[in-house]
Amino acid sequence: MRARRSRGTVRAMRTLFLIVLWCGAFCAAAADRTVKEAVRDRLEAELPGLLTLYRHLHANPELSFQEEKTAARVAEELRLAGCEVTTGVGKHGVVGILKNGPGRTVLVRTDLDGLPVKEQTGLPFASQAMARTASGEEVPVMHACGHDIHMACLVGLARLFSQLKDCWQGTLVLIGQPAEELGTGARAMLKDGLFSRFPKPDVSLALHDRADMPAGMVGYTPGYALASVDSVDITVRGVGGHGAWPHTTKDPVVLAAQIVLALQTIVSREQDPGEPAVVTVGSIHGGTKHNIIPDQVKLQLTVRTYSEESRSNVLASIQRIARGQSVSAGLPEELLPVVTVKEESTPATYNDPRLTERVAAALRLWLGEEKVQPRPPVMGGEDFSEFGRTAEKIPICLFWVGGLNREAYEAAKREGKTMASLHSPFWAPDAEPTIRTGVTAMTAAVLQCLKGE
């Protein structure tokens, strides 16, 4: 009799436990629905203003480390959203702090700078801006990489989180970063005390528009997502002279051609086939006249790798090949080539796998399984990577937001056409669905990260 009562008590307790679990799950789901509805309603109300902001930013781009007016506008928008704002961090960097009680700290980054590209989109608000480069050359400027979309999404995020404080707890650090296109803006902000002067984040997030995904879609990549980028200059030296007496010279044009060809063996014969790498000679300049053999030729290279080991090996191979080809041409030590790795190099972007999977799970819940896709890593570069490489080892995650007009995307697929890429003078994101998806996705990611593990 006592045993039967005991088993009955156990069954009752088990049933009660399951009811409690079910009720908790039901309440959590209901709460999630309420938050989603609140976000959706507030975003639809804010979207016209965000589109106006996007068009203004698109029409008024500024080059890297010249983003004075862009930074001022982003700073003002963050102030109006209720953030404590600091400007001039790492030259033109902006930091906005939005606090809402105790809890975790999440950093969200946007980039500010445009590119020296002449816009050819035909948009009514297309950029007509001109600027001078650091070398004094006057160039057209365009937001050809979607940084204007990124800024509008950051401002939208600030507005929503300021208005919906009942839905979250913790601290947001919203930053506008200069000079992403140079690969030095993140380092400049970190050097200026980003993680010491302001709340240190538990995680750092960023989004980037993508030119090969339709608007409304989101992509994610755990682990290596973007490559390290190294800009390398090679000055090939020789002994100049008359083109009719080449035997009295050491021709750097021929030597440069041999070096360019030999560099192709780095990826094809020295690199592990399972470790991607790119060595591209993007520029070659030398000589002044048909019948003059010059005394030097300049090469400019871009080098893309993922792991630090691959990066070190490829850069060492470039040095060895350039030197070896020159030695074989009979050049003395004092005329061997000068190989320089430029300062604007950026490390590979490594998305923390655990954080990225958590973010992806939140995106699927908010956007639907069919709109969130894993994406393979790409050989583009991003200095957002720097935020994950400090001594604090803060986990980072950058995810993709599709920017292509869906009808144009489907038509291009049917007809086998290639659409304009990022950095193209024809790149124009489908702004409204891209911003709507970007703000929604980042909201979902931030709320997930504020919850903790």
C-alpha span between 64 and 55 (Å, rounded): 19
pLDDT of 232: 97
Q: In a 10 Å sphere around its CB, with 0-12 CB exposed, 13-18 middle and 19+ buried, how is residue 233 labelled?
A: middle
Burial 182-192 (b: 16+ CB within 10 A, else e): bbbbbbbbbee
Task: Give the count of beta carbons closer than 10 Å to the beta carbon of residue 138.
Answer: 9
Give the domains, in start order, of the chain with CATH numbers.
Answer: 28-227+348-450 (3.40.630.10), 229-341 (3.30.70.360)
Sheet with 396-404: list strands edge to edge: 84-89, 93-100, 170-177, 105-111, 203-214, 396-404, 218-220, 372-374
Task: Give the count of beta carbons closer than 10 Å to the beta carbon of residue 18.
Answer: 10
Which residues in the chain show pLDDT less than 70? Answer: 1-32
What's the distance, Cα to Cα, between the start and end of the chain in Å? Answer: 46
450 close to 103: Cβ distance less than 8 angstroms: yes
Q: Quick: pLDDT tens for 63-77.
A: 999 999 999 999 999
Phi, psi angle pair for 225, to nearest 5°: -110, -40
Structure tokens at 76: 């003002």
Q: Hey, what amino acid is at 275?
A: E
448 close to 364: Cβ distance less than 8 angstroms: no
- Nearest-5° angle of CA 397, CA 399, CA 404? 165
Alpha helices in 368-453 (DSSP H): 406-415, 431-450
Q: Quick: pLDDT tens for 329-358.
A: 999 999 999 999 998 789 999 999 999 999
CA atoms within 13 Å, Cβ hemisphere of 297: 27
**Length of the chain, please?**
453
Phi, psi angle pair for 443, to nearest 5°: -60, -45
- Helix, strand, coil content of the chain in percent (nearest 5): 45, 25, 30
C-alpha span between 354 and 352 (Å, rounded): 6
- Nearest-5° angle of CA 229, CA 233, CA 234? 135
pLDDT of 17: 53
Percent of the chain's residues with pLDDT above 90: 88
100 sits in which H/E element: strand 93-100
pLDDT of 14: 64
Annotated catalytic residues are: 113, 180
